[in-house]
Structure 1
Amino acid sequence: MPRYNNPKKTRQYSFEFKRKAVEMSQEPGVQVQEVAQRLGIHPFMLSRWRKEYREGLYPLRSPSKAKPLKKSRKSAKPDTDNAELKKLRKENGRLKLEVDLLKKWQRFLAEQQRNATDS
């Protein structure tokens, strides 16, 4: 059997990275493929992580960094994050509509140009 001089390295991802990736992919309106592409991983890998997450294989914190959670961690930050997220989603929807409208306009102009050259 031939010996490989430079074996392909398998990338090891932390529990925290996997957990965050899974949580990103579980947001409403988000597809696994989009999240995987943004993170630079294969969609199948993210799907496998989602399955493992459902089975409880990923702890809330990585074993090497396990620290007791503080019980009184309430602040106004989650409310501002939610408001900002809502605002960004609204803007994203508006921008998608604009892009769709511009694409339709572009198709309309191309059709007009084709009709003008046919006559």
Structure 2
Amino acid sequence: MKKRNQYSAEFKAKVVLEVLREEATVNEIASKYGIHPVMVNRWKQEFVDRASEVFKKGPSEAEKALEKEQQHVAELERKVGQLTYEVDWLKKKSDEILNRKRP
């Protein structure tokens, strides 16, 4: 079974920009890079659909999601730190109590 190729965003952008320059046909560009023309057209369509996102002000949806995830991780790390501190304190106190009861 053939494994799917994974293309970098830079490579896709390079191919799409070449298509948009219209210096060659989609079929010629696709054969030049060894890609199916349908794939090139999909990349072009996605590029055109998402082009307006370049000019949006403020953080993108991905940046917002990343920031939210980072805040969640920081909150969990604080919680782990607090619980570790509490467990250590309880171990110390339980040792003190057990040592007092022993003769």
Provide TM-score, normalisation by structure 1: 0.40
Higher normalized helix content (fraction of residues): 2
Provide TM-score, normalisation by structure 2: 0.46
Structure number with greater Rg is: 2
